[in-house]
Amino acid sequence: MELLLDEDNKSFRDSVRSWVDDKYTNERARQLEADDVNYPQELWEDFADAGFHGIGIGEEYGGQGGDVISQIVLGQGLARRLGGLVAVWGIPSFAGGKSIGAYGTEEQKQRFLPDLAKGKLRFAIAITEPAGGTDVLGAMRTRATKVDGGWTISGQKVWSTGAHVADYLLVLAVTDPEEKPSRRTTCFLVPTTNNGLTMRKIPKIGMRAVASNEVYFDDVFVPDDLVLGEIGRGWANIVATLNNERILTASFATGMIEGVLEGSLEYLKVREAFGGPIGRFQALQHYVADISSWLQQSELITYYAALLQQQGQPCAKEATMAKMVTAEYVSKASDLGIQILGGMGMAQETDMQRFWRDSRLFQIAPITNEMARNMIAESYGLPRSY
């Protein structure tokens, strides 16, 4: 990626890799997940000390600055060791930093972004509903009703990762059911301490150290100053940030492929069978060639989409491609990583199974790969298929 990075981002990339190698070895990352604590508070605090929460937030709001390239450099560098634990940085960065920075008022930016950059505030996303999945608008039942001084929200959200430790939830709710779908919703920043808000943890096979939750809203009051963006334009605001979310997801997948490659090479050099290292076996060398090729393709497509976004160019198709391609490559790479390790690939004391479990999510979220293909095909003028 040398050709795609300026000197500042090359330096940042090297510092992130050194930080991760020093503080979060594979062994420590495995232990964080094995402890099953629902949230690794120490990781959040270490990110804060390193200034990572401020990446992508302007210096005028107390952040470190940096563009989308800086964000994916960080995402890839963290995921290379941490795997799914990268969500500790990624979700608040998108739900708070990106969303407030993109369509919040100046007062909201001054109020929230400095504390987010310092690691003093956490945000989580509460958009998906139990009957919805990809059909966010068609299935949305959560309602926000106007009252004196604000709104009351009632309904249910699902797969809100990190909600149990968040200070605020980015919530999308219907505010005018009579309007057409694209004009009927509004975004809210909902304090998690408000009356009427309850949660339930969802047990899952991947991303286990960062709990996901069902969230229930029973006439939860939200003041007017926590409406995020224009009333009735919630979906438009969310869509405006989707390209960034998909590019960041692609960077996480790419980082995990890099971690799989490094772990595979290490094992192939030290594991012996039939009188020598197993790295001399042609079949296993072919696996390495495949993983290495997938890594380079993933980096190229991810950085290309990021460069388009950074330059203000249309990038919906490219961002969706990057998410789709990297999601499939990381699943294939981590599966081959398990095959390379053989029986040890199934052991929780090794890392391939962790990358394999964590990365499986990327074919489903933030958009299914089937829907991604629909959107890519539609961009070429083919009729809408859903």
So what CATH class is 236-378?
A: mainly alpha
Q: Looking only at Cα atoms, what is the longest distance across the chain?
A: 79
Question: Are 265 and 288 in contact, with CB atoms under 8 Å apart?
Answer: yes
Question: Are 190 and 146 in contact, with CB atoms under 8 Å apart?
Answer: no
Q: The pTM is what?
A: 0.96
Residue 333: CA atoms inside 13 Å, Cβ hemisphere, count? 35
CA angle 267, 269, 272 (to 5 degrees): 85
Question: Are 172 and 215 in contact, with CB atoms under 8 Å apart?
Answer: no
User: Would you list the DSSP string of 62-88?
Assistant: TS-B--HHHHHHHHHHHHHHHGGGGHH
pLDDT (tens digit, 0 to 9) for every residue of the chain, 386 residues total? 677 788 999 999 999 999 999 999 999 999 988 876 789 999 999 999 999 999 999 999 999 998 999 999 999 999 999 999 999 999 999 888 999 999 999 999 999 999 999 999 999 999 999 987 788 888 899 999 999 999 999 999 999 999 999 999 999 999 999 999 889 999 999 999 999 999 999 999 999 989 999 999 999 999 999 999 999 999 999 988 889 999 999 999 999 999 999 999 999 999 999 999 999 999 999 999 999 999 999 999 999 999 999 999 999 999 999 999 999 999 999 999 999 999 999 999 999 999 999 999 999 999 999 999 999 999 999 999 98
Q: Is 210 helix (H, G, I), strand (E, B) or coil?
A: coil
Q: Which CATH number fits domain 2-122: 1.10.540.10, 3.40.50.10860, 2.40.70.10, 3.30.800.10?
A: 1.10.540.10
Q: How far apart are CA 230 and CA 186, in angstroms?
A: 7
**Domain ranges within the chain, ordered by starting residue:** 2-122, 124-232, 236-378
| Residue range 124-232 in CATH 3.30.70.1230 | no
Question: Are 85 and 209 in contact, with CB atoms under 8 Å apart?
Answer: yes
